[in-house]
Amino acid sequence: MNDALDVAVRLVVVFVVFLVLPLVVGQTEHKVMAHMQGRLGPMYAGGFHGWAQLVADGVKFAQKEDIVPAAADRRIFQLAPAVALLPYLLVLVVIPIGPSEGAVGQVVDAGIFFVLAVMGVGVLGSLMAGWASANKFSLLGGLRTAAQLLAYELPMLLAAASVAMAAGTVSLPGILNAFHWWWLPWQIVGALVFFVAGLAELQRPPFDMPVADSEIIFGAYTEYTGLRFALFLLAEYAGIVVLCGLTTVLFLGGWHGPWGADGLGWVWTLLKTAVLAFVVIWLRVSYPRLREDQLQKLAWTTLIPLALAQIALTGIVKVAIS
Amino acid sequence: MSATLAQAALTAPQGFLSPNGVEIAFLLVGIATLGAAVMTVTTRQLVHAALWLVVALGGLAVEYLLLTAEFIAWVQVLIYVGSIVVLLLFGLMLTKAPIGRSPDADSGNRWVALAVAVAAAGTLVWVVVDAFRTSWIDLDGPAQGSTKVSGEILFRHWVLPFEALSVLLLAALVGAIVLSRKSAPDDAPGDAPAAAPRETESR
C-alpha cells in the first residue's frame, strides 16, 4: 500500500510539473519577446504585467469550436495532438532534479536511451497531423518535419553518447553522480551540438522551417482549432522544458552547484533549466529562419562532424585519465 | 547468451498452466501486437499501414520490457519507431499518400508473400525454441537484460558478429551513397545541376 501511495504521489507531482512549467515558459516567452521587441501587448489583465492574460487565453482556446476538415482522416487527425504531447510527459518522469532518491519520478536503467527514444516518438504527432489534415500546406509541414528529424536525430544521439562514455553509464542519475566541474569545458562542444539539435527537433526558431508561418501558414497545425491546437502549443513548450532539463542534466551538472548542493540541488537544476529556456526564447527573437538546404547542411556538415570529434576527444581523455 | 540466461534459471520447475501477472500481460500485449501486425499488412490505406506498424513495433518493445530486457526495448523504440517509421512516412508523403483507400495497394504476390512469411516465422520460432529450451527468466526479480549485462554479453561473447554487422552496415551505407550519386550531371547534362548534390545531402 505504501509503495502504491509513493508511486501515485510521484506521478501526481510529475503531472503537476508537466502542467505548470510549460505554461510558465510560454508566459515568459510572451513577456521576454514583448520587451525585447519593444511592443508590450496585453499589460492590464490581473495587474502585474498582464499575467492573467494566460488564463484568458486558456479560456479562449477551450471555447473555440473544434473543427475537423471534411476531407480529413478523422481519427488520425484527432489522435495527433495526444501523440505529440504524451511523450514529453513520459520523458519528464525520468529527469532527476535533485541528488536524493526521491528527486526523480522513476529511475530508468537506460535513461538516455529512454528519453531520446520517447522524444523521437513525439514527432510522429506532427507527421500524423500533417498528413491527416488533407491540406497541401500541412503536408509540406509534415514533410519538412520528417526531413528535419532525420537530419538532427543523429548528432543528438552522438552528443549524448559522448556524455555516456565520459560517465561510464547511461542512467541519468548515474551520470550526475559521476559529474565533475571540469566536464563542462570537456563536453562543451557536445553540449552545443545537443542543444542545437534539440532546438531543431522541437522546430523552434531558427529551425522553424516546418511551421514557417510566412510560407506554409502553420505547417502541420494549420487546420487545428481550439483545444487540439492548444495541445500542440503545449507540446512545444513542454518540449522546451524537457530539452533544457536534459541539457542541464547531461552537460551542465544538474543539481551540482558551486555551493549549497546538499539541500538546494533542485534549485540549481531549475535555475539552469530556466536560464536555458531563456536562451531558447532569446534565439527566437534574434535569429532569422534557416532555409531548408541550410538546415540540412548545418546538420550533416557541421553538427555531425563536431559530435564525432567530441566523441573522439572524450575517448582520448577517458583513456588518458584511467 | 543462453549461458547467462541459464545462470539465472530458477531451480523450481516452471509450468505454463500457472501463469503470473507478468505472463498474462505478456500474452495480452502479444495478441495486440499480432493484431496490429495483421492490420499493417491487410489495411488498404497506405499511411494507416505505417501507423499500425508503429503500434506493432511499440507492442514488441513492451514485450521486451516485460522480459526485463530494458535496454533492447528502448533501442527498439529509438530505431524502429523513431527513425524507420519516420523514414517510411517521409517516403509515403513524398510520393503518394492519399487519404482513404488505395485500390492499387494490393499485390498479386500475396499468397507467395504469405508463404514466405510463414516459412520465416517458422524458422525463427524453431531457432528460438531450440536455443532456449531449458532457460527460464525470473520476471519478478531484478532486470537481467539491463544495459550493463547486455553490454558485457555483446562485447565479451559476441564481438565478432557485432563487428561483422557494423562492417555490413557500413558497406550498405557506402553502397547507398554510390547509388544516389550515379545520376551525376555528366550523365544527363539537361537535368538541373543542383538536384544531384541536394539529393545526397538530404539522403
Portion of chain A with pLDDT greater than 70, in percent: 97
A290 CB near a chain B CB, below 8 Å?
no
Portion of chain A with pLDDT greater than 90, in percent: 6
Torsion of CA A89, A69, A56, A236, to 10 degrees: 30
A132, A220 Cβ separation under 8 angstroms: no
Mean pLDDT for the stretch of residues A205-230: 82
Between chains, do A147 and B143 touch, taking CB under 8 Å as contact? no
Distance, in angstroms, between B190 CA and closest chain A CA? Answer: 22
Residue B138: pLDDT over 80: no
- pLDDT confidence bin for B43, thresholds 50/70/90: confident
**Which residue, among A73, A86, A115, A156, would best test binding to B if mutated, counting the most B CBs under 10 Å from its CB?**
A73
pLDDT in tens, A41-78: 777 877 777 778 888 888 888 888 888 888 878 888 88
Instruction: Give the span between the Cα atoms of B27 and B77, in whole angstroms.
Output: 20
Give the contacts of A161 (CB within 8 A, at least 6 positions apart).
A311
Mean pLDDT for the stretch of residues A14-34: 84
pLDDT in tens, B148-203: 777 888 888 888 998 999 999 999 989 988 888 866 555 544 444 444 444 443 43
According to the model, what pLDDT value does residue A101 have?
66
Could you tell me the domains of chain B? Answer: 17-105+143-157 (1.20.120.1200)
Mean pLDDT for the stretch of residues B35-41: 87
According to the model, what pLDDT value does residue A320 have?
85
Residue A229: pLDDT over 80: yes
Q: In degrees, to the nearest 5, what angle opens at C-alpha A146 toward C-alphas A140 and A151?
A: 125
According to the model, what pLDDT value does residue B20 have?
72
- pLDDT confidence bin for A309, thresholds 50/70/90: very high
DSSP assigned state of A168: T
Between chains, do B77 and A121 touch, taking CB under 8 Å as contact? yes
Beta strands per DSSP E along chain A? none
Between chains, do B78 and A128 touch, taking CB under 8 Å as contact? no
Between chains, do B83 and A150 touch, taking CB under 8 Å as contact? yes
Number of H helices, E strands in chain A: 13, 0
According to the model, what pLDDT value does residue B189 have?
46
Residue B129: pLDDT over 50: yes
Give Cα separations from B96 to A80, A83, A210, B59, B195 (angstroms). Answer: 20, 23, 20, 27, 21
Omega into A206 within 30° of 0, i.e. cis? yes
- pLDDT confidence bin for B82, thresholds 50/70/90: confident
- pLDDT confidence bin for B3, thresholds 50/70/90: very low
Residue B2: pLDDT over 50: no
| Intra-chain end-to-end CA distance of chain A, in Å | 46
Instruction: Give the span between the Cα atoms of B49 and B36, in whole angstroms.
Output: 9
Q: What is the largest CA-CA distance in chain B?
A: 74
Instruction: Give the span between the Cα atoms of A170 and A163, in whole angstroms.
Output: 8
Radius of gyration in angstroms for the set of CA atoms belonging to chain B, rounded to a whole number: 22
Give me A131's grid cell.
498528413
Between chains, do A110 and B94 touch, taking CB under 8 Å as contact? no
According to the model, what pLDDT value does residue B4 have?
44
According to the model, what pLDDT value does residue B185 have?
57
Distance, in angstroms, between B161 CA and closest chain A CA? Answer: 22
A223 CB near a chain B CB, below 8 Å?
no
Between chains, do B201 and A293 touch, taking CB under 8 Å as contact? yes
Contacts of B83 in chain A (CB under 8 A): 120, 150, 153
Contacts of B77 in chain A (CB under 8 A): 117-118, 120-121
Instruction: Give the span between the Cα atoms of B200 and B203, in whole angstroms.
Output: 5
Between chains, do B77 and A139 touch, taking CB under 8 Å as contact? no
According to the model, what pLDDT value does residue B166 have?
92
According to the model, what pLDDT value does residue A103 have?
66
According to the model, what pLDDT value does residue B172 have?
93
According to the model, what pLDDT value does residue B190 have?
45
Nearest-by-Cβ selection for B82 from A147, A153, A170? A153
A216, A203 Cβ separation under 8 angstroms: no
Q: If you count residue pairs, one on A and one on B, with CB atoms under 8 Å apart, how many are there?
A: 96
pLDDT in tens, A276-306: 999 998 988 888 888 888 888 888 899 999 9
Q: What is the DSSP string of A10-29?
A: HHHHHHHHHHHHHHHHHHHH
According to the model, what pLDDT value does residue B105 have?
66
Give me A279's grid cell.
536562451
Q: In degrees, to the nearest 5, what angle opens at C-alpha A293 toward C-alphas A288 and A297?
A: 95
According to the model, what pLDDT value does residue B116 have?
93
Residue A316: pLDDT over 80: yes
B48 CB near a chain A CB, below 8 Å?
yes
Of A184, A196, A149, the residue nearest A306 (C-alpha): A196
The lowest-confidence range among A170-184, A235-249, B183-197 is: B183-197
The nearest alpha carbon in chain B to A153 belongs to: B83
According to the model, what pLDDT value does residue A105 have?
66
According to the model, what pLDDT value does residue B184 have?
55
Give the range with max mean pLDDT: A105-114, A124-133, A253-262, B13-22: A124-133
According to the model, what pLDDT value does residue B1 have?
42
A217: left (phi over 0), alpha (psi -120 to 50) or beta: left
Instruction: Give the span between the Cα atoms of A199 and A208, in whole angstroms.
Output: 9
- pLDDT confidence bin for B115, thresholds 50/70/90: very high
Mean pLDDT for the stretch of residues A237-251: 89
Between chains, do A124 and B93 touch, taking CB under 8 Å as contact? no
Q: What's the mean pLDDT when you consider all of chain B?
A: 76
Distance, in angstroms, between B26 CA and closest chain A CA? Answer: 20
B97 CB near a chain A CB, below 8 Å?
yes
pTM confidence score: 0.81
According to the model, what pLDDT value does residue B19 have?
65
Residue B9: pLDDT over 50: no
